[in-house]
Structure 1
Amino acid sequence: MQVSKDILFHALHADGLLMLPNCADAGSARIAAAAGSKALATSSAAVAWSHGFADGSTLPRELLMASVKAILRVSSLPLTVDAEDGYSADPAQVAGLIGELIDAGVVGINIEDGTGAPALLAEKIRAIRAVADARGVNLFINARTDVYLHDQTTERVRETIRRAAMYQEAGASGLFVPCITTEDDIAAVAKATPLPLNVMACDGVPAPARLVQLGARRRSAGSALSAAMFGCVDTLARPVLASGTVAVAPYAPMDYSALNRLMTQ
């Protein structure tokens, strides 16, 4: 019997470390899948930049849905979508958007508290869980808390754990803590919550094998791959304008024929 994608995606967090090279569109999703990724995850920044919008809930809803549908067209892997803050402060509107994503075939989301009240994110999670349950989908709700992005005090671990409990009670499936890097903090948070802990690849984050020992269950690239790609384009575009030549790329370019074959699979 074929396992449904929502069940499969939950199972990927049960043991070891789920590594996710976040994608922006159908092309980068094909590359992530060909590289061996077990699931696909969008980065809100990467998707926004691919459409010429800034990150931060500015992307028009129809473009988000277009990107998601394009990714689902080219891959059968479980897909989780970074929904930022749900593009609304109204839990009902947020749940409506997530319902559209579920209907399209998405089995996981990120939803963040940002600088808002944790209680508001908890309300959004409850509304999302109700919508998912009504559709018979065990949506993986990855509750992102931005404590480490905005708080530089010694209370960050305690506050993160407090929010984790609140989000778990509301129906979250996982906890995403961007910019948590020290071994002690990662171990403390992982031990304090049953929610699978998601960390983001950044300077100072322990190696994958060590993250598993500390209790983390997911490591995502965030916007790093997209930023690197745009950096490469920027580096190459300047000499083209100056001299009409394409300089040596800072990254090895993919072979034209190989890339074209990949896009036709």
Structure 2
Amino acid sequence: MTTDLKAQADQLRRLHHGPEMLVLPNVWDAASAEIVAGAGYPAVATASAAISAMLGYPDGEGAPWREMFAAAGRVARAVPVPVTVDAEAGYGLQPRELVDRLLEIGVVGCNLEDSDHRSGGLVDPGAQAERLAAIRAASEDAGVPIVINARTDGFLPRSGVAEPERVAEAVRRGRRYLEAGADCVYPIGVGDEHDIAALVTELPGPVNSNTRPGGPDLARLRELGVARVSYGPRFYRQALADLKTAVELLRP
């Protein structure tokens, strides 16, 4: 099993380096994962906000990690492609335990964010870099170099980072995270094309971005050099909106 997981981790890592941009329509259960994999996507990613909502909990580590990992495990068992899980801030798990739990459910990648869900704001970048380095070391020791997507949350209003400082702060944090062993940097919430271009230029590694109304589309993100695009809970919310419309049409 370790050999298979290592091959999947290596494959997922290669997908971050082209030649095609890695597009990940995030999933929340086995059925949605099968749809994405069946459509030909080379990897599957979960969305923590969607899974926690499906389970009846608020986002931001509001759901017990065991329930979140059980749901992610069902996703991984449902598809033949590499799976990366949104592990939020790591649920307070120690690095080796986090790695072991991810591998136990058949997952070979994870998002790890630098928001502090307990006190608000952002985790100290040095402390976050140390944690990422420890997770990298633990995964190497386990024989499966999991793909770490280091999310940095300075573009989110709750972060407390002033708007003029957000690009510089994302670059400062992203560089430290890449040096610590992260494979990709995810400055969530950035939508301005010039900011995205600056991040791609200044960060010495792959950058994860999003599409959003009024912002650059997939074609433009490719031109800007973005390596990975994810959608968070967007498709989960759209599915619920479609259900709401459908059931309302049934009422007399």
1:181 CA displacement: 1.7
- Correspondence for 1:9: 12
SS of 1:219 mapped into structure 2:
strand
Contact in 2 for aligned 1:182/1:204 (Cα 8 Å): no
Q: What are the residue-to-residue correspondences of 1:108-257 with 2, within 5 Å?
A: 108-114=109-115, 115-117=121-123, 118-150=125-157, 151-238=161-248, 240=250, 242-243=251-252
Distance (whole Å) between structure 1 residues aligned to residue 28 and residue 95 of structure 2: 21
* Aligned residue pair count: 239
1:9-41 deviations in Å (ceiling 9; x for gaps): 011111231110100010100011112211000
- Correspondence for 1:100: 101
> Once superposed, what is the RMSD of the aligned Cα atoms?
1.9
- Correspondence for 1:262: none
Q: Match for 1:102: what amino acid? A: L
Contact in 1 for aligned 2:211/2:217 (Cα 8 Å): no
1:80 aligns with 2:84: yes
TM-score normalized by the length of structure 1: 0.84
Distance (whole Å) between structure 2 residues aligned to residue 86 and residue 167 of structure 1: 15
Contact in 1 for aligned 2:77/2:106 (Cα 8 Å): no
Alignment partner of 1:19 out of 16, 23, 34: 23
1:119 CA displacement: 2.7
Distance (whole Å) between structure 1 residues aligned to residue 96 and residue 122 of structure 2: 17
SS of 1:30 mapped into structure 2:
helix
1:130 CA displacement: 1.7
Please, which runs of 5 or more residues in structure 2 have no aligned partner?
Answer: 116-120
1:152 CA displacement: 4.6
Highest RCO, 1 vs 2 (Cα 8 Å, sep ≥ 6): 2
Give percent identity, aligned residues only: 38
- Correspondence for 1:49: 53
Distance (whole Å) between structure 2 residues aligned to residue 51 and residue 208 of structure 1: 31
- Correspondence for 1:261: none
Distance (whole Å) between structure 1 residues aligned to residue 129 and residue 141 of structure 2: 18
Contact in 1 for aligned 2:155/2:163 (Cα 8 Å): no
Distance (whole Å) between structure 2 residues aligned to residue 185 and residue 75 of structure 1: 35
Distance (whole Å) between structure 1 residues aligned to residue 97 and residue 212 of structure 2: 33
Q: Match for 1:104: what amino acid? A: I
Quick one: structure 1 residues 51 and 94, their matched pair in 2 at CA, closer, same or farther if it must change by over 3 Å?
A: farther
Distance (whole Å) between structure 1 residues aligned to residue 244 and residue 128 of structure 2: 37
Contact in 2 for aligned 1:110/1:142 (Cα 8 Å): yes
Contact in 1 for aligned 2:122/2:154 (Cα 8 Å): no
Distance (whole Å) between structure 2 residues aligned to residue 72 and residue 235 of structure 1: 30
Please, which runs of 5 or more residues in structure 1 have no aligned partner?
Answer: 244-265
Distance (whole Å) between structure 1 residues aligned to residue 186 and residue 149 of structure 2: 6
Q: Match for 2:132: what amino acid? A: I
1:120 CA displacement: 3.0
